[in-house]
């Protein structure tokens, strides 16, 4: 049986390790020794039962020697640090498929007023920059960790410019409860999986103020248009946004209280303070950072009214009503303008 | 950090005995070489051998295309026996019904396929004659130098002018490193392409570096004069017929290049394809032949010899490009690729005439060799070991491994080729030498452009002379700002500045104006006594200006 590794013991990392264990022997890397011991001894962590073929370790040397296929599932804020530690053990033979739905920003976003494209990296770009691995991919889609851990059926997309990576990813993950699709649109898939986070925050807000399905459908559809505009400005095609990582993930996260980003929006609408929400969450809500990143990239000329409104609400203390008025009074364009829109 | 130096005189050969040169050994037994090419084509062109029907249809299609080519675009250089060959193939296909064996048509068609591959291979294959090479080595510099000399009848000038030639041809780069790599592996040189003069220029440069001879593809249109054609053939030139577009021919060409590389023969490609029509630095490469370096590297590893292939991007930097006017007009008309009829006019004789004109009037050229990279774009050290951009040592074999085994994967390797292409473009950009001529052209054109910022490039190009005149009072400060910006870019090792840029601004302006496109019938730039700088050809000014458009310098205007 093939050996593969997962780096990161967050909810999604654990769920993915369990899915991988259907076809493989799996090492899961945890930074802290006590988590390694807990997983190996108690066979459970963060409410998830751990598959018998999953072994927790704290040894990059071991996992890189034993496994050529590695899935880093680490929050974007820790990703670079993890890569710096992992990099000396990696060779060009390794294949890395990450599952991190976030961006790496080369500067401190709290101390700049705008960002250059070159300062914003997707996780696969960061892997290429920080390691000798070339065969890089990402996994994205409607993959709410809790549902995956309950063995509900689901699907995902593995995207890479290398078919070899897609094939290896499929072989490792495909099972009778999990369908794995392939895509060469890696940039589009990565951006879709990042951008949908702030759409989910907005969806949570709508739910929080008691709006129904019409409002949410409007939000999701125009949210997707906004994601496409952004993607095109960064050189991605609209294709990926129509797949599992785009519309698929939007439908899941914008309708589910299991989504952290959705919950942040919901609680903001209920009048809670952002700092309190984030400290209660105990995990990262990438969407909050993404709102700011999109705002700081506004110079690239894409349409992002939703991100603008969310920025004002989250960072400038606008009332929710104010944000909605702002959005509802904007001029309307063609329904499917994202197909015809050319980036500036 | 590479130790860049400029050489003025030819260096001794790295491998002195020419019989030990891979090019000599590879072409010593042409049948063996071609057999390897043929076997590789058949291995890689699995689509053609898929089944009886496909094979037969492909052969019919090839015969049709070849006959069409001969009737629609015949060239003087075409082999007179070729018509007969294709008629014979056609006859064999037609009559094969009578001789079909129990296995269907495959047996017959495979025989026909072999004949076609033999035909292509025999037409394509180069040779390497030590005598021809030695002659070229001795004679060419003198012929070149003599061309420079205005009064060739004075014999002593013939000899003194060799030094003049090397004064005009500045060859720079980490020369010792390149020579060292020649001892370890195979060298592939990939230059930028601006002019028909590029090939003789690069040929002479490579010889001056003391590298073993290179094999290179040359258009069949260059093989029109028998004696010269023979000479080129004997110096490693393999024939490429760009009229042939079908997959089998392309596959044969690629396999030829791959086998040459696995036989450790140094090779030369122009990855930009045709010459840059706009005068801009290449921003897109044709990846066909470039991909053969990846194939060859993998085959070397699979064969167990592991011999490494090193890629050396080279930028050619001219003050004057003879064909500039024609090229820029082509570009502006957006005619795309050169048409073949016109290329046909580029005979070997035509090339010599052009070379004569360029050399006699050229105020100089700089040939800049970038640091060597491996086939994945990693830098290599003095031992040929590869290091990533973050300084980690990597093994090239690992890139081809899947689950511990070296495997061929066409899609993966096409991605590697793209990555290599991107790295070559980066090296072109970083190893471009800023000549005073390009700099003054850039500054002048951009000042005019800013003056008419609402105009399109086409409208700017048709402005009357009095609208495009620039006074030195306006020119000099802008030149100063752009120069400062270039100095900052050079500090980051993102460009190379020529010695002219050390001059004071006034002098730099004067030298640049004198050198830019100096021998075109219409002057590109001229300064009058009143201090007014003007041009007689906005198109040429635009062409020479284009060289510096990819460095974000526009904001300093």
**pLDDT of B351:** 57
B392 belongs to a structural domain:
yes
User: With an 8 Å Cβ cutoff, is A91 touching chain B?
Assistant: yes
Residues A263 and A169 in one domain: no
CA dist., res. A30 & res. A37, Å (int): 10
Nearest by CB to residue B392, choosing from A132, A163, A164, is A132
Indicate whether B246 and B370 sit together in one domain: yes
The beta-carbon neighbor of A162 closest among B394, B398, B415 is B415
pLDDT digits (tens, 9 = 90+) for B462-489: 898 889 999 999 999 999 999 999 999 9
Q: CB distance A132–B388 less than 8 Å?
A: yes
Give the CA diameter of chain B: 90
CATH label of the domain that carries residue A88: 3.40.50.720
Interface probe with B: pick from A4, A90, A91, most Cβ of B within 10 Å: A91
Indicate if A247 and A211 belong to the same structural domain: yes
Q: Considering its fold, how many domains does chain B have in total?
A: 2
B376·A87 Cβ contact <8 A = no
- Kindly list the distances between the CA atom of residue B285 and the CA atoms of A185, B159, B269, B309, B426, in Å, as whole numbers in the listed order: 22, 40, 11, 19, 12
Single out the residue in A184, A212, A245 at which a domain terminates. A184
Confidence band for B360, pLDDT divided at 50, 70 and 90: low
| CATH classification at residue B416 | 3.40.1130
- Considering the domain architecture, whether residues B305 and B198 belong to the same structural domain is answered as yes
Ranges of beta strands (E only) in B162-308 are 169-173, 186-191, 214-219, 237-240, 266-268
Q: Does A135 touch chain B (CB under 8 A)?
A: yes
Q: How far is B377 from chain A (nearest CA, A)?
A: 11
- Rounded to 5 degrees, φ, ψ at A167 are -60, -45
pLDDT cut 70: percent of chain B above it? 88
User: Of A163, A184, A205, which residue sits at a domain end?
Assistant: A184
Can you tell me whether residue B385 is helix, strand or coil? coil
d(CA A58, CA A39): 12
* Closest residue, chain A, to B418 (C-alpha): A161
Percent of chain B with pLDDT over 90: 63
A196 noted as active-site residue: yes
Tell me what percent of the residues of chain A surpass a pLDDT of 70: 98
- With residue A4 as reference, give the H or E element that holds it: strand A3-7
Same domain, A138 and A198: no
Residues of A whose CB is below 8 A from B394:
91-92, 132
- Kindly state whether residue B162 falls inside one of the protein's structural domains: no
**Across-strand partners of B33?**
none
Residue A302 structure tokens = 């894409």
Q: Which pLDDT value is given to residue B345?
A: 44
User: Which pLDDT score, from 0 to 100, does residue A344 have?
Assistant: 41
Residue A118: domain span: 3-184
Give the number of C-alpha atoms closer than 13 A to the C-alpha of residue B279, restricted to the C-beta side. 30
Q: Which residue of A has its CA nearest to B376?
A: A134
Last-in-domain residue among B430, B449, B477: B430
Q: Which of B217, B27, B35, B30 is nearest to B133 (CA)?
A: B27
CA–CA separation, A26 and A52 (whole Å) = 9
A158 and A75 in one domain? yes
- CB of A129 within 8 Å of a chain B CB? The answer is yes
Q: What is the pLDDT of residue B315?
A: 96
- Judgement on whether residues A53 and A201 belong to the same structural domain of the protein: no
Question: Which residues in chain B have Cβ-Cβ distances shorter than 8 Å to A162?
Answer: 411-412, 415
Quick check: is B247 in a domain?
yes
Q: Which residue of B has its CA nearest to A89?
A: B392
Average pLDDT over residues B310-320: 94
Residues of A in contact with B404 (CB under 8 A): 68, 93
Give a yes or no: residue B108 inside a domain: no
Catalytic site residue from A38, A68, A101, A196:
A196
Q: Which residue among A93, A131, A162 places its CB closest to the CB of B412?
A: A162
Nearest to B363 by CA among B150, B515, B135: B515
A85 in contact with B, Cβ within 8 Å: no
Does the pLDDT at position B26 exceed 70?
Answer: yes
**Number of continuous H segments (helices) and E segments (strands) in chain B:** 23, 18
Instruction: Spell out the alpha helix ranges (H) of A4-141.
Output: 11-20, 33-42, 60-66, 76-86, 123-130
Inspect the interface and report whether the beta carbons of B398 and A92 lie closer than 8 Å: yes
Quickly tell me which residue has 């046909």 as its tokens. Answer: B344
Q: Which residue do the tokens 């299609």 mark?
A: B61
Provide the number of CB pairs (under 8 Å) joining chain A to chain B: 48
Which of chain A's residues have a Cβ under 8 Å away from the Cβ of B388?
Answer: 131-132
Half-sphere exposure in the Cβ direction for B38 (13 Å, CA) = 20
Question: Are B425 and B448 part of one and the same domain?
Answer: no
Helix (H) or strand (E) holding A180: strand A178-183
Taking contacts as CB-CB distances below 8 angstroms, the residues of chain A near B414 are none
- Which residues, in sequence order, are CB contacts of B84 under 8 Å at separation 6+? none
Is B261 a domain residue? yes
| Residues paired with B368 in a beta bridge | B172, B315
β B309-318/B266-268 pair status: unpaired
- The predicted structure's pLDDT at residue B164: 62
Q: Distance between CA A186 and CA A265 in Å, rounded?
A: 28
Residue B283: its pLDDT value, please? 85
Q: Inform me whether the pLDDT recorded for B339 exceeds 50.
A: no
A235 at interface of B, judged by CB pairs closer than 8 A: no
Q: Do B526 and B403 share a structural domain?
A: no
Q: For residue B41, what are its two tokens?
A: 């084509």
C-alpha dihedral sign at B278, B280, B283, B289: positive
pLDDT band of B98, cuts 50, 70, 90: low
pLDDT at A225: 94
pLDDT band per the 50, 70, 90 thresholds, residue B50: confident
For residues B390 and B478, state if they share a domain: no
Confidence of residue B152 (pLDDT cuts 50, 70, 90): very low
Domain that includes residue B311, residue range: 5-22+170-351+365-430
User: Residue A165's closest chain B neighbor by CA?
Assistant: B412
pLDDT over threshold 70, residue B391: yes
**Is B394 in CB contact (< 8 Å) with chain A?**
yes
| Interface contact flag, A134 B392, Cβ < 8 Å | no
Residues A201 and A336 grouped into a single domain: yes
**Distance (Å, whole) CA A323 – CA B482:** 46
Residue A168 shares a structural domain with residue A205:
no
Task: Check residue B19 and give its pLDDT.
Answer: 95
Q: Quick check: A124 contacting B, CB < 8 Å?
A: no
> What's the token pair of residue B253?
């060409």
- Which residues, including other chains, have CB under 8 Å from residue B557's CB and lie 6 or more apart? B443, B446, B447, B449, B450, B478, B481, B482
Number of Cα atoms under 13 Å in the Cβ half of residue A192? 33
Q: What is the spatial distance between Cα B508 and Cα B501, in angstroms, rounded to a whole number?
A: 6
At residue B362, the pLDDT reads: 59
Mean of pLDDT over chain B: 87
Q: Are B325 and B539 in contact (CB under 8 A)?
A: yes
Question: In this structure, are residues B79 and B123 in contact, taking their beta carbons and an 8 Å threshold?
Answer: yes
At residue B108, the pLDDT reads 81
Q: Are residues A49 and A162 in the same domain?
A: yes
Q: Does A209 lie in the same domain as A324?
A: yes
pLDDT digits over A287-301, tens only?
A: 999 999 999 998 888
For residue B534, being part of any structural domain is answered with yes
CATH number of the domain that A309 lies in? 1.10.1040.10
Contacts of A68 in chain B (CB under 8 A): 401-404
Query: Of B430, B448, B467, which residue sits at a domain end?
Result: B430
Same domain, A194 and A174: no
**Residue B279 counted as domain residue:** yes
Domain count, chain A: 2
- Distance (Å) of CA B494 to CA A299, B173, B486: 26, 14, 9
Please give the C-alpha separations between residue B161 and each of A133, A229, B117, in angstroms, as whole numbers: 52, 62, 47
pLDDT on residue B340: 32
A134 touches chain B (CB under 8 A): yes
Chain A positions touching B409 (Cβ under 8 A) are 163-164
Mutation target to probe the B interface, by most B beta carbons within 10 A, among A86, A91, A92, A125 is A92
Q: Which residue of B has its CA nearest to A164?
A: B412
* Interface predicted TM-score of the whole assembly (ipTM), two decimals: 0.91
Residue B401 contacts A, CB cutoff 8 Å: yes
> A279 and A203, same structural domain?
yes
Residues A93 and A74 in one domain: yes
Helix B436-451 to helix B472-491 angle, to the nearest 10 degrees? 120
pLDDT in tens, A141-169: 999 888 999 999 999 999 999 999 999 99
Residues B403, B496, single domain; the answer is: no
| Residue B145 near residue B162, CB atoms below 8 Å | yes
d(CA B311, CA B370): 9
Looking at the structure, tell me whether residues B437 and B426 fall in a common domain.
no
Same domain, B506 and B372: no
Q: Are B384 and B460 in the same domain?
A: no
**Residue B498: φ, ψ to 5°:** -75, 165
List of residues 6+ apart from A264 with CB closer than 8 A: A201, A204, A274, A277, A278, A281, A285, A287, A288
Same structural domain, B196 and B236:
yes
Cβ neighbours for B28, distance < 8 A, ≥ 6 positions apart: none
DSSP 8-state class, residue B235: B
> In terms of domains, do B193 and B293 share one?
yes
CB contact under 8 Å between B411 and A129, yes or no, is: no
User: B496: closest CA among B437, B435, B555, B453?
Assistant: B435
Task: Evaluate whether residue B407 is within a structural domain.
Answer: yes
Among A184, A213, A243, the domain-final residue is A184
Asked if the Cβ–Cβ distance from A68 to B376 is below 8 Å, we say: no
Q: Per-block average pLDDT, block size 10, for chain A (344 residues)?
A: 96 96 97 96 94 97 97 95 97 97 93 93 97 98 92 96 98 96 97 95 95 94 94 93 95 91 93 86 80 93 92 92 90 82 52
**Alpha helices of B492-552 — where are they, by DSSP H?**
505-515, 538-546
Q: How far apart are CA B137 and CA B131, in angstroms?
A: 10
Whether residues B384 and B444 share a domain: the answer is no
Distance CA B360, CA B376 (A): 40
Put simply, whether B390 touches A (Cβ < 8 Å) is yes
Burial of B502 (0-12, 13-18, 19+ CB in 10 A): exposed
Chain B's closest residue to A88, CA to CA, is B392
Q: How far apart are CA B15 and CA B497, in angstroms?
A: 33
When scoring A86, A134, A137 by the number of chain B Cβ atoms within 10 A, the one with the most, hence best to mutate, is: A134
Distance CA A331, CA B33 (A): 69
pLDDT of residue B144: 60
**Does residue B337 register a pLDDT over 50?**
no
Query: Which whole number is the average pLDDT over B379-408?
Result: 95
pLDDT band per the 50, 70, 90 thresholds, residue B165: low
Q: Could B392 and A87 be called an inter-chain contact, meaning their C-beta atoms sit closer than 8 Å? A: yes
Domain boundary among B430, B458, B483: B430
């Amino acid at each position: 049986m093939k050996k593969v590794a997962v780096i990161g013991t967050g909810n999604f990392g654990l769920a993915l390790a369990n899915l991988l264990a259907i076809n493989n022997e799996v090492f899961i890397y945890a930074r802290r020794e006590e988590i390694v011991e807990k997983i190996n001894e108690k066979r459970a962590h963060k409410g998830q039962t751990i598959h018998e073929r999953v072994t927790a370790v704290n040894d990059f040397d071991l996992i890189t020697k034993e496994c050529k296929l590695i899935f880093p599932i680490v929050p974007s804020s820790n990703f670079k640090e993890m890569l710096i530690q992992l990099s000396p053990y990696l060779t060009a033979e390794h294949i890395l498929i990450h599952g991190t739905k976030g961006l790496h920003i080369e500067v401190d976003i709290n101390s700049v007023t705008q960002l250059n494209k070159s300062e914003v990296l997707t996780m696969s770009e960061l892997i290429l920059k920080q390691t000798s691995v070339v065969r890089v991919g990402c996994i994205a889609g409607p993959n709410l960790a809790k549902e995956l851990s309950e063995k509900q059926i689901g699907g995902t997309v593995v995207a890479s410019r290398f078919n070899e990576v897609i094939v290896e990813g499929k072989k490792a993950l495909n099972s009778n409860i999990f369908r794995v699709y392939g895509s060469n649109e890696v940039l589009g898939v990565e951006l879709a999986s990042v951008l949908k986070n702030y759409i989910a925050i907005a969806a949570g807000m709508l739910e929080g103020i008691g709006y129904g399905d019409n409002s949410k459908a409007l939000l999701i559809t125009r949210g997707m248009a906004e994601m496409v505009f952004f993607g095109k400005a960064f050189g991605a095609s609209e294709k990926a946004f129509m797949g599992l990582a785009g519309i698929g993930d939007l439908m899941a996260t914008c309708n589910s209280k299991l989504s952290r980003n959705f919950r942040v929006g919901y609680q903001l609408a209920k009048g809670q303070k952002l700092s309190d929400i984030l400290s209660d969450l105990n995990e990262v809500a990438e969407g909050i950072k993404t709102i700011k990143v999109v705002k700081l990239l506004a110079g690239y000329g894409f349409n992002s009214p939703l991100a603008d409104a969310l920025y004002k609400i989250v960072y400038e203390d606008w009332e929710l009503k104010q944000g909605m008025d702002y959005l509802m009074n904007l001029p309307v364009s063609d329904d499917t303008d994202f197909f015809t829109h050319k980036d500036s | 950090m590479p130790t860049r130096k400029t050489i003025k005189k030819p260096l001794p050969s790295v491998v002195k005995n020419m019989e030990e040169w891979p090019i000599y050994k590879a072409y010593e037994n042409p049948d063996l070489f071609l057999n390897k090419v043929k076997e590789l084509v058949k291995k890689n062109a699995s689509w053609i051998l898929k089944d009886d029907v496909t094979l037969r249809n492909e052969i019919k299609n090839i015969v049709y295309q070849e006959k069409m080519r001969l009737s629609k675009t015949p060239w003087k250089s075409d082999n007179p026996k070729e018509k007969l060959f294709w008629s014979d193939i056609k006859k064999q296909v037609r009559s094969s019904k009578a001789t079909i064996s129990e296995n269907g048509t495959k047996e017959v068609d495979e025989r026909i396929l072999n004949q076609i591959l033999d035909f292509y291979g025999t037409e394509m294959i180069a040779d390497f004659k030590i005598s021809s090479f030695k002659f070229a080595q001795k004679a060419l510099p003198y012929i070149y130098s003599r061309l420079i000399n205005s009064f060739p009848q004075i014999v002593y000038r013939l000899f003194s002018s060799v030094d003049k030639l090397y004064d005009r041809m500045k060859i720079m780069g980490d020369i010792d490193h390149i020579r060292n790599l020649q001892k370890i592996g195979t060298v592939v040189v990939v230059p930028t392409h601006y002019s028909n003069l590029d090939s003789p220029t690069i040929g002479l440069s490579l010889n001056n570096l003391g590298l073993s001879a290179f094999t290179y593809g040359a258009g069949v249109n260059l093989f029109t004069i028998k004696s010269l054609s023979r000479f080129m053939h004997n110096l490693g030139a393999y024939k490429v017929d760009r009229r042939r577009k079908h997959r089998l021919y392309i596959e044969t060409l690629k396999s030829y290049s791959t086998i040459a590389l696995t036989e450790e023969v140094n090779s030369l490609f122009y990855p930009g394809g045709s010459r840059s029509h706009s005068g801009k630095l290449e921003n897109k490469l044709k990846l066909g032949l470039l991909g053969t370096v990846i194939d060859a590297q993998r085959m070397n590893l699979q064969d167990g010899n592991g011999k490494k292939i090193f890629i050396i991007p080279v930028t050619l930097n001219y003050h004057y490009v003879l064909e500039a006017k024609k090229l820029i007009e082509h570009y502006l008309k957006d005619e795309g690729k050169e048409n073949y009829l016109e290329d046909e006019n580029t005979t070997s004789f035509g090339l010599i005439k052009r070379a004569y004109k360029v050399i006699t009037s050229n105020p100089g050229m700089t040939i800049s060799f970038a640091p060597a990279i491996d086939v994945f774009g990693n830098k290599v050290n003095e031992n040929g070991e590869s290091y990533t951009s973050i300084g980690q040592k990597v093994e090239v074999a690992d890139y081809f491994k899947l689950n511990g085994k070296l495997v061929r994967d066409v899609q993966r390797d096409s991605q590697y080729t793209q990555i290599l292409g991107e790295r070559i473009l980066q090296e072109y950009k970083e190893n471009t030498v800023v000549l005073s001529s390009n700099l003054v052209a850039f500054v002048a054109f951009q000042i005019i452009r800013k003056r008419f910022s609402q105009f399109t490039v086409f409208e700017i190009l048709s402005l009357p002379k009095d609208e495009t005149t620039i006074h030195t009072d306006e020119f000099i400060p802008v030149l100063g700002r752009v120069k400062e910006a270039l100095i900052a870019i050079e500090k980051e090792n993102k460009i190379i500045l020529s010695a002219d840029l050390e001059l004071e601004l006034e002098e730099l302006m004067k030298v640049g104006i004198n050198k830019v496109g100096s021998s075109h019938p219409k002057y590109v730039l001229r300064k009058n006594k009143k201090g007014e700088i003007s041009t007689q050809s906005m198109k040429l000014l635009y062409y020479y200006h284009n060289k510096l458009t990819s460095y974000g310098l526009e904001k300093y205007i």
